[in-house]
Structure 1
Amino acid sequence: MPYPFHWVPAAGQRHATLDARPGGGYPTGISVETLCGVQICADNSEFGWLWPTCPECAPETRRLAEEYAAAPKPLFG
């Protein structure tokens, strides 16, 4: 099972969000709320994934990942 957050390039950084991914991704122009608390428009451009990670989203993703790792997992399916 994947982490509950997803990365999305926007506003010159790679932000994280808990918003659902329509069709498995965030098309350019779609509005998402980030873990750092801002509403931004995705920029799924060729270079967007090379932008630096948002320094405010990163600690929240680590916290969520640690919670996920510590949570009990089902034995089957």
Structure 2
Amino acid sequence: MMYRPHFFSWVPADGLRHASTDAKPFRGYPTGFVVATLCGHQLAAENTDLAWFWETCRTCDDKAHELAKTPTPPAASAR
């Protein structure tokens, strides 16, 4: 296990970056590893360099901010 400042981790899957509270292996979730996401899905991780540039799942982002007890920043279109 690796250090996690919060009890969730980010994982690219299904075209978005999602958050999960599943235990995270030291080198991250391997490609194909199925995780439960904060938005309520079971998705296969895609641990590639390109996948980390995908947009963030808004529902996972909102729930992650709730768990971290930090406010969600306003959407770019709301600025």
TM-score (norm 2): 0.79
Q: CA RMSD in A?
A: 1.4
The amino acid of 1:35's aligned partner reads: L
- Among 59, 69, 73, the residue aligned to 1:56: 59
- Among 3, 28, 47, the residue aligned to 2:6: 3
Structure 2 CA distance for aligned equivalents of residues 49 and 23 of structure 1: 17
Q: When the two structures are aligned, how many residues end up with a matched partner?
A: 67
Structure 1 residue ranges, 4+ long, deviating more than 6 angstroms after superposition: none
1:1-77 to structure 2, matched below 5 A, reads: 2-66=5-69
Cα distance change, pair 38–26 in 1 and its aligned pair in 2 (3 A) = same
Which runs of no fewer than 5 residues in structure 1 stay unpaired? 68-77
Deviation at 1:23, TM superposition (A): 2.8
Deviation at 1:46, TM superposition (A): 1.9
Identity %: 49
Structure 2 CA distance for aligned equivalents of residues 23 and 31 of structure 1: 16
Which runs of no fewer than 5 residues in structure 2 stay unpaired? 71-79
Q: Mark the structure with the bigger radius of gyration.
A: 1
